[in-house]
Amino acid sequence: MGSSGSDLPQDVVEDILSRLPAKSIMRFRCVNKSIWSTLFQNPTFIAKHHSFQSQNNPTFVIKRRDDIIQKALISLHPNLDSDSGVELLNLDDMPFFKGDMKEEEEERLDILGDRSINGIICLYNYPWRYQQPCDHHFRIVLWNPAIREFKLLPTNPVHCPSPNPHVRHEFIGFGFGYDHKSNDYKVVRIVIFWDFTPYLDWNGNGYYCPPLVEVYTLSTDSWRQIDAVFNASINYNVRNSQFYLNGAYHWHGSIAGKHSNAIVSFDMTEEVFRIIRLPDLDENNVSALDKNAIWGEYLVLNNCIAMIVYDIQETVIEKIFDIWVMREYGVKESWTKQFVIGPLSGIQIQLGFTMNDELLMVARDGQLVSYNSNAQEIKSLQVRGLLNATQAIVYKESLVSVMGGNVIEN
C-alpha cells in the first residue's frame, strides 16, 4: 500500500491526481492535510499538474464592466462554446480590493498582460489623474484563483526628486513576468515626473527628470530601484496591446523623440528595456480604405508577436483586419502579413487569440464570436453579455503558491 493509503503504487496515484482540476485537489487537501499537503506542495508534482492542465483545460478570464452595479467584473470561462461552468468573480468579495478604495479606483482595475504565468494573475488599480496619486490606495495583487490564494504587494511610495510642490509623478507602465534564471516572479513599474510650475517648461516638454524604474521581487517581497535606460514612451491606455512573451513584458509605445510607434519590452531576467520595431506600412500593404485612420494592436499568435491593423474609426461599419506576424523575435525584417480577416460588420472589439489561433471578438450586441483563419469562417460562441468587455486573458490553472500569500475563505 502506498503512503497515500491507496492500494495503487505511489507514482500511479500521483499521475491520476495530476489530471484532476485544482478544485478537486484542494478538496483532498482539506480532507486529510497530513497525507496530501506534502505531495501538493512538491514542486515536481505542481509542475506536472500545471503541464497537464495547460494542455487540456485552458480557460479564458474576461474582464468587463457592469453598468447596472457600476463595477468591474471578472469571469472565468472554461468553455467558450457554452455558458456552463462560468464562474463570476465579483470584486466586492475580494478582500484585497475592499475598504478604502474610491469608486473611480475600482473602475480602473485591470489585469496585467495577456495571460496568467504559471497560474498566477496580476491585478492592479491605477491612478488616472495628473494630481499626486495616493500611493497607499494603489493596489497590486498576485492572485491564484485556482487555490484562492493572493499576495498583496507592499506599498512603495514614490519619492519626488525635487522639493518643488509643483512636481507631480505619474505611473506610465506596469509589467508582470517570470525570471527563469532565478525562478522568481517580478513586477516592474515606470514613473515619470511632471513639472506643473506656471510658465516653466523643463527640457522643453514638461519632464522634470529621467523616469524612475522600480522592480518588485516576490522572493524578497520588496521593491528596488534599477538603473535601466528607458529611451521610449509607453501608451499605457492601450491595455489590449500588453503581453508577456519570451521572458519579457511588452507595451504599445514609441521611440523617444520620434512619433513612430514601436513595441517596448522589459526583460525580466536581464532587467533591461528594448525596442521592437514595427513593419513599414503603406498604401500597398494595408487593406483599410482610409490609410490615415489605421491603428495597430499587438498580441501573441502561435508564440510569435502579432499585430492587427485596422481602421479605428467607429463610423466604419465593415472592418478589415490585417494580421501581421513577426516570424523571428525582435527582427524587424521578419514581419510578414499573414492573412486578412473581413470585411466584418458589427464587431466592437477584438480580445485576442485562443490556443487554437482563433481570433476572439465581441460583437456590438455583446456576444462573443471567433474567427478561424484556416477555415476562414466566423463563429458565434455561446457567451453573451460582454458588451463592455475590455480584456480577455489565457488562464491555465496551477497549484503554484504566491509565497506568504493569504487564502480567500468561502
Residues 169-199: tens digit of each pLDDT:
778 889 999 999 998 999 999 988 777 665 5
Angle at 14 between CA 8 and CA 17, to 5 degrees: 105
Strand partners of residue 363: 347
d(CA 257, CA 268): 25
Residues 316-327: tens digit of each pLDDT:
778 888 899 999
d(CA 355, CA 270): 28
Q: What are phi and psi of 12, to 5 degrees?
A: -70, -40
Comparing 80 with 33, which gets the higher pLDDT? 80
The radius of gyration computed from the CA coordinates of the chain, to the nearest angstrom, equals 23
- Which of 70-79, 277-286, 333-342, 368-377 has the weakest average pLDDT? 70-79
Which is nearest to 62 in space by CA: 254, 239, 283? Answer: 239
Q: What's the grid cell of residue 374?
A: 484556416
DSSP secondary structure letter of residue 147 = T
3-class SS of residue 31: helix
DSSP 297-314: EEEEETTEEEEEEEE--T
Instruction: Specify the pLDDT at position 31.
Output: 60
Instruction: Specify the pLDDT at position 284.
Output: 76
Residue 255 has pLDDT above 70, yes or no: yes
Which is nearest to 241 in space by CA: 231, 251, 232, 233? Answer: 251
Count other Cβ atoms within 10 Å, centred on residue 60. Answer: 22
> Strand order in 212-217's β-sheet?
167-179, 184-195, 212-217, 222-226
Residue keyed to cell 468587455: 389
Residue 168 has pLDDT above 80, yes or no: no
- Which of 26-35, 164-173, 189-198 has the weakest average pLDDT? 26-35
DSSP secondary structure letter of residue 292 = G
Q: What's the grid cell of residue 168?
A: 507631480
Average pLDDT of the residues of the chain: 78
d(CA 353, CA 331): 22
pLDDT grade, residue 331 (50/70/90)?
A: very high
Ramachandran assignment for 357, one of left (phi > 0), alpha (psi -120 to 50 degrees), beta (any other):
left
Residue 10 has pLDDT above 90, yes or no: no
Comparing 132 with 330, which gets the higher pLDDT? 330
Residue 130 has pLDDT above 60, yes or no: no
DSSP secondary structure letter of residue 381 = -
pLDDT grade, residue 100 (50/70/90)?
A: very low
Contact 16, 39 (CB under 8 A): no
> Strand order in 71-77's β-sheet?
87-90, 71-77, 59-66, 389-395
